């Protein structure tokens, strides 16, 4: 089953739940199911908004440039451009980052299109709600029952542009958008989604033209994963949750996973946890632990492979707080990777910080507790969040390189695990002798120095390749001569089985090893080979690339 990544701003992951439904065991089963379905629909709409379009205007780097230009006179007026000491520079830089984030949030609220249209069946399938599959009536009932049940109180840091002081703002947002149904003209104006769900009409599906999803403008910034302040989860695995608390526990713990060595960041008071899970303060801790925390922890282990340990901190006999620690069943090496990645990037690609030993420097970074401290040109928090994304990109890239060796061999690509970046093979001749070396790749006027840019480079390269080329998989079936016998290549599986030798013979333009029943298709094949029109990758890689675009 494929992975579908969901992004949550860190402030959202650590927000308080303020909806009226309670998630302790005293709820009726109907209320629990409705709340779980609401979370799955919120995930589906979040995924849709994050992945339906590529809004270049709203890319983080672009917005930062515009924001800095727009705020320059304000920074000058507040004196943030002229620090008197190194410590003051850190404070001023933090204020600038907050002001830029505030600017982007306001810009997105005013300019980002917050209404999406989608096919009814496609959306219902995307929710992963099994009870809604295969029955229009059940699907409509699910949509009707879950409207506007999820609310979160999110804490923002805001820079007062008049005084230059940092302030705290609390915002209440709904994770569920407004979902409207578009009906056939013959029943226009007669029904709302709720009344249409209850109406006794035959063949309702024929009357449904689609769904319109409208997000609150105040929620957009929290759903778009713009910048570095976000955590990642897997939508497919979240679809398996059966307890409402698991959805919140998943992203709350993800928000501290990379910094759990910091006990203060990984510790929450019992009162804080009740607020974060939407449980009344007067609920006894033993019930809260049994019906909320333990259930969520168990589901994270069974559905996501996360092993969560809860250390109870007591004053006397009373539990006052819990310190969480998280690891994976598979012993995923993300924690070690984060600091090794930061150290290696600084060692190989930054000149403003001196590192003698990467391993020792990585261990040194683990002792750092100030997330706003600059290490090189980025804060420690920014480095950690980049490293988490880099880990996922490196895993994906290494798998692609293993699965599609012909493509990477043809281009002379290797992956340097020490430097955590893709390198390109360069062949020189000196005194008639061939000399092979590997060098950093440049892409879009920027050096490729990390897994994130490496994967983007491969995606762009293959996308360009697919735009101007055809794939051998597109002309199946054909016969292929190998080891003194003709083999019928009549499926993707057969193509993948013989892909390396097939691509080798295409590159050598050995067309006699390919046979087609249809003369026209044979001539077309010969033309593609002679004109070098065949893409240099397998169908499998083509599908992987497309899946990455769909994420």
Dist CA 202 CA 200 (whole Å): 7
Q: What's the pLDDT score for residue 30?
A: 47
Q: Residue holding tokens 């390396």?
A: 500
Give the whole-angstrom CA distance, residue 6 versus residue 8.
Answer: 7
Contacts of 185 (CB under 8 A, 6+ apart): none
Is residue 441 helix, strand or coil? strand
| pLDDT at position 297 over 90 | yes
pLDDT of residue 295: 93
> Which of 102, 70, 274 lies closest to 171 in space, CA to CA?
102
Residue 281 has pLDDT above 60, yes or no: yes
Give the angle subtended at the CA of 403 by the CAs of 398 and 405, to the nearest 5°. Answer: 90
Which two tokens mark 193?
């989604």
Lowest mean pLDDT among 131-145, 190-204, 238-252, 426-440: 426-440
**Confidence class of residue 246 from pLDDT cuts 50, 70 and 90?**
very high
Closest by alpha carbon to 278, among 407, 172, 142, 352?
A: 172
Higher local confidence (pLDDT), 294 or 261:
294
Length of the chain as a residue count: 551
Q: Quick: pLDDT tens for 344-397.
A: 999 888 876 778 788 788 878 877 767 778 888 888 888 888 888 898 889 888
- Helical H runs in 240-333? 244-254, 270-277, 285-288, 294-304
> Whole-number mean pLDDT of the chain?
83
pLDDT grade, residue 55 (50/70/90)? low
Residue 479: pLDDT band (50, 70, 90) is very high
- Given a cut of 70, whether residue 25 has pLDDT beyond it is no
Q: Are 44 and 127 in contact (CB under 8 A)?
A: yes
Residue 305, pLDDT > 60, answer: yes
Domains of the chain: 5-236 (no CATH), 240-331 (1.10.10.10), 334-463 (no CATH), 470-534 (no CATH)
Query: DSSP class of residue 475?
Result: G
Residue 502 reports pLDDT greater than 50: yes
Report the b/e string of 291-316 with b at 16+ CB within 10 A. bbbebbbebbeebbebebeeeeeeee
What lies within 8 Å, CB to CB, of 341 at 6+ separation is: 387, 390, 391, 420, 450
Contact indicator for 372, 381 with CB cutoff of 8 Å: yes
Q: Phi and psi (nearest 5°) for 175?
A: -75, -20
Q: What pLDDT does residue 478 have?
A: 93
Q: Tell me, what's the pLDDT at 536?
A: 57
What pLDDT score does 91 carry?
A: 92
pLDDT of residue 548: 46
DSSP letter string over 92-150? Answer: HHHHHHHHHHHHHHHHHHHHS--EEEE-HHHHHHHHT-GGGTT-HHHHHHHHHHTTT--
- pLDDT at residue 514 tops 70: yes
Q: pLDDT tens, 171-185?
A: 888 888 888 889 998
């Amino acid at each position: 089953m494929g992975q579908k990544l969901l992004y949550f701003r860190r402030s959202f992951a650590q927000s308080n739940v303020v909806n009226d439904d309670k998630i302790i065991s005293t709820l009726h089963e109907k209320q629990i199911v409705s709340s779980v379905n609401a979370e799955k629909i919120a995930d589906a709409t979040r995924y849709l908004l994050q992945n339906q379009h590529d809004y270049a205007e709203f890319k983080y780097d672009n917005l930062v440039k515009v924001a800095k230009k727009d705020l320059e006179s304000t920074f000058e007026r507040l004196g943030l451009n002229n620090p008197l000491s190194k410590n003051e520079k850190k404070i001023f830089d933090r204020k600038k980052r907050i002001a830029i984030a505030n600017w982007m949030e306001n810009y997105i609220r005013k300019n980002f299109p917050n209404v999406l249209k989608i096919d009814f069946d496609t959306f219902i399938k995307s929710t992963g709600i099994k009870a809604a599959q295969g029955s229009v009536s059940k699907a409509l009932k699910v949509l009707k029952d879950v409207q506007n049940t999820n609310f979160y109180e999110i804490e923002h840091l805001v820079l007062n542009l008049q005084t230059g002081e940092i302030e705290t703002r609390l915002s209440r947002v709904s994770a569920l958008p407004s979902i409207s149904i578009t009906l056939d003209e013959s029943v226009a104006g007669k029904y709302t989604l709720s009344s249409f769900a209850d109406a006794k009409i035959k063949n309702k599906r024929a009357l449904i033209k689609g769904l319109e999803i409208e997000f609150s403008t105040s929620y957009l910034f929290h759903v778009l994963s713009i910048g570095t302040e976000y955590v990642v989860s897997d939508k497919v695995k979240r679809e398996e949750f059966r307890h409402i608390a698991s959805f919140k526990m998943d992203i709350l713990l993800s928000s501290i996973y990379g910094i759990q060595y910091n006990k203060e960041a990984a510790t929450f008071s019992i009162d804080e946890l009740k607020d974060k899970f939407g449980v009344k303060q007067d609920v006894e801790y033993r019930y809260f632990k049994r019906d909320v925390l333990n259930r969520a922890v168990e589901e994270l282990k069974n559905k996501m492979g996360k092993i969560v340990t809860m250390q109870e901190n007591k004053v006397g006999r009373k539990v006052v707080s819990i310190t969480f620690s998280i690891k994976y069943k598979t012993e995923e090496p993300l924690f070690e990777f984060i600091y090794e990645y930061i150290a290696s990037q600084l060692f190989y690609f930054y000149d403003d910080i001196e590192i003698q030993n990467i391993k020792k420097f990585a261990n040194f970074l683990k002792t750092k507790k100030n997330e706003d401290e600059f290490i090189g040109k980025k804060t420690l928090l920014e480095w950690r969040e980049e490293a988490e994304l880099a880990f996922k990109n490196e895993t994906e890239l290494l798998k692609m390189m293993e699965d599609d060796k012909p493509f990477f061999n043809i281009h002379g690509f290797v992956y340097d695990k020490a430097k955590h970046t893709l390198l390109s093979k360069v062949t020189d001749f000196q005194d008639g002798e061939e000399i092979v070396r590997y060098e950093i790749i440049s892409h879009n006027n920027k050096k490729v120095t990390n897994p994130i840019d490496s994967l983007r480079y491969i995606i762009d390269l293959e996308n360009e390749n697919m735009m101007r080329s055809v794939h051998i998989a597109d002309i199946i079936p054909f016969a292929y001569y190998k080891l003194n016998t003709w083999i019928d290549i009549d499926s993707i599986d057969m193509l993948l089985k013989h892909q390396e030798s097939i691509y080798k013979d295409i590159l050598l333009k050995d067309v006699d090893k390919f046979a087609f029943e249809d003369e026209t298709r044979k001539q077309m094949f010969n033309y593609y080979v002679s004109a070098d029109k065949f893409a240099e990758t397998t169908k499998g890689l083509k599908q992987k690339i497309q899946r990455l675009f769909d994420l």
